[in-house]
A and B are shown apart, each in its own frame.
Chain A
Amino acid sequence: MTDALSQYSVLSLYSAMAVYAIAFVLFTIDLAGKTTEGKISARFQRIAYALTWVGFALQLTAGILRGVAAHRVPWANMYEFAMTGTLIITGVFLVANLKWNLRFVGTFTTGLVLILLGLAATRYYVEVVPLPPALQSYWLVIHVFVATLGTGFFSLGFSLSVLQLLQQRREVAVHDGKKTRLTGLVKLPDAVALENYAYRLIIIGFIFWTFTLIAGAIWAEKAWGRYWGWDTKEVWTFIIWTIYAGYIHARATRGWRGTRSAVLALVGFGAVMFNFTIVNIFFKGLHAYSGL
Chain B
Amino acid sequence: MSRPSDHFDSAEPVAPAVNPKLSIAGYGRWLWSLLTSMRTALVLLLFLAIAAIPGSLFPQHSSDPNGVTQYFADNKDLAPILDKFQLFDVYSSVWFSAIYILLFISLIGCVIPRTKHHFDALRARPPRTPVRLERLPGFDEREFGGVDAEVALASAARVLKSQRYRVERYDRDGAITISAERGYMRETGNLVFHFALLGVLIAVGFGSGFGYSGQRVIVEGQGFSNTLLAYDSFNPGRFFTPTELEPYSLTLDKFTTTYEQKNLNAIGQPTDYLANVTAQLRDEKPFATTIKVNEPLRIAGTDVYLLGNGYAPVVTVRNPAGKVIFHDAVPFLPQDKNLTSLGVVKLPDGLPKQVGMIGFFYPTVQDSHGGMKVSVYPDLVDPLLTFNIYVGDLGLNEGVPRSIYALDTSKLTKLTGINTTLESLEMKPGQSATMPNGLGTVTLDKVVRYASLDVHHDPTQGWVLFFALAALGGLLTSLFIPRRRVWVSVAPTKNKKILVEYAALARGDDPTLVAGVQAIIAAHIRDLGLTCD
Q: Which of B63, B273, B468 has the most chain A CB atoms closer than 10 A to its own CB?
A: B63
Determine the distance from Cα of A228 to Cα of B307 in the docked complex, in whole angstroms: 16
Kindly list chain A residues whose C-beta atoms are within 8 Å of the C-beta of B293.
133-134, 136, 223
Kindly list chain B residues whose C-beta atoms are within 8 Å of the C-beta of A239.
49, 52-53
Determine if A235 and B45 form an interchain contact, defined as CB atoms under 8 angstroms apart. Answer: no
Determine if B52 and A253 form an interchain contact, defined as CB atoms under 8 angstroms apart. Answer: no
Kindly list chain B residues whose C-beta atoms are within 8 Å of the C-beta of A203.
479
Partner of A199 from B12, B52, B509 at Cβ < 8 Å: B509
Size bracket of the B interface: 35 or more
Determine the distance from Cα of A261 to Cα of B220 in the docked complex, in whole angstroms: 59
Known: A224-B307, A239-B53, A242-B45. 19 other contacts (CB 8 A): A130-B266, A133-B271, A133-B273, A134-B294, A207-B475, A221-B303, A221-B461, A228-B204, A230-B60, A235-B56, A242-B46, A243-B45, A243-B49, A246-B49, A252-B9, A252-B508, A253-B7, A253-B38, A286-B63
Kindly list chain B residues whose C-beta atoms are within 8 Å of the C-beta of A231.
63
Determine if A253 and B8 form an interchain contact, defined as CB atoms under 8 angstroms apart. Answer: yes
Known: A133-B292, A218-B465, A251-B509. A127 touches B39 (CB 8 A): no
Q: Mark B464-479, 1 if CB is under 8 A from A, else 0.
A: 1100110110011001
Indicate whether B143 reaches chain A with its CB closer than 8 angstroms: no
> How far does the Cβ of A134 sit from chain B's closest Cβ, in whole Å?
5
> How far does the Cβ of B291 sit from chain A's closest Cβ, in whole Å?
11
Determine the distance from Cα of A170 to Cα of B514 in the docked complex, in whole angstroms: 28
Within 8 A of A (CB), among B297-356: 303, 305, 307
29 contacts across the A-B interface (CB closer than 8 A): A133-B292, A134-B294, A200-B511, A206-B475, A207-B475, A207-B479, A210-B472, A211-B472, A214-B472, A217-B465, A222-B294, A224-B307, A225-B305, A226-B458, A229-B62, A229-B63, A230-B91, A242-B45, A243-B49, A245-B45, A246-B45, A250-B42, A253-B6, A253-B8, A254-B12, A256-B42, A257-B8, A264-B46, A271-B49
Within 8 A of B (CB), among A126-146: 127-134, 136-137
Partner of A230 from B63, B296, B454, B465 at Cβ < 8 Å: B63
Determine the distance from Cα of A239 to Cα of B39 in the docked complex, in whole angstroms: 19
> How far does the Cβ of A248 sit from chain B's closest Cβ, in whole Å?
8
Determine if B7 and A254 form an interchain contact, defined as CB atoms under 8 angstroms apart. Answer: yes
Indicate whether A101 reaches chain B with its CB closer than 8 angstroms: no
Indicate whether B368 reaches chain A with its CB closer than 8 angstroms: no
Indicate whether B26 reaches chain A with its CB closer than 8 angstroms: no
Indicate whether A255 reaches chain B with its CB closer than 8 angstroms: yes
Indicate whether A284 reaches chain B with its CB closer than 8 angstroms: yes
Determine the distance from Cα of A207 to Cα of B475 in the docked complex, in whole angstroms: 7
Closest residue of chain A to B13 (Cβ to Cβ) is A254
Indicate whether B269 reaches chain A with its CB closer than 8 angstroms: yes
Partner of B475 from A210, A223, A242, A254 at Cβ < 8 Å: A210
Size bracket of the A interface: 35 or more
Kindly list chain B residues whose C-beta atoms are within 8 Å of the C-beta of A283.
56
Known: A133-B271, A230-B63, A243-B46. A225 touches B303 (CB 8 A): yes
Kindly list chain B residues whose C-beta atoms are within 8 Å of the C-beta of A218.
465
Known: A239-B52, A257-B8. A131 touches B294 (CB 8 A): no
> How far does the Cβ of B321 sit from chain A's closest Cβ, in whole Å?
47
Determine if B8 and A252 form an interchain contact, defined as CB atoms under 8 angstroms apart. Answer: yes
Indicate whether A227 reaches chain B with its CB closer than 8 angstroms: yes
Indicate whether A183 reaches chain B with its CB closer than 8 angstroms: no
Known: A223-B294, A279-B56. A252 touches B475 (CB 8 A): no
Q: Mark A183-196, 1 if CB is under 8 A from B, else 0.
A: 00000000000001
Within 8 A of B (CB), among A74-96: none
Determine the distance from Cα of A225 to Cα of B204 in the docked complex, in whole angstroms: 15
Within 8 A of A (CB), among B14-66: 38-39, 41-42, 45-46, 48-49, 52-53, 55-56, 59-60, 62-64
Kindly list chain B residues whose C-beta atoms are within 8 Å of the C-beta of A284.
59, 64, 67
Determine if A210 and B471 form an interchain contact, defined as CB atoms under 8 angstroms apart. Answer: yes
Indicate whether B263 reaches chain A with its CB closer than 8 angstroms: yes
Kindly list chain B residues whose C-beta atoms are within 8 Å of the C-beta of A264.
46
Within 8 A of A (CB), among B473-525: 475-476, 479, 508-509, 511
Known: A225-B213, A232-B56, A251-B509. A129 touches B45 (CB 8 A): no
Determine if A230 and B8 form an interchain contact, defined as CB atoms under 8 angstroms apart. Answer: no
Partner of B265 from A127, A210, A211, A238 at Cβ < 8 Å: A127
Partner of B269 from A130, A200, A257 at Cβ < 8 Å: A130
Kindly list chain A residues whose C-beta atoms are within 8 Å of the C-beta of B244.
none
Kindly list chain B residues whose C-beta atoms are within 8 Å of the C-beta of A230.
55, 60, 62-63, 90-91
Within 8 A of B (CB), among A1-34: 2
Determine the distance from Cα of A196 to Cα of B511 in the docked complex, in whole angstroms: 8
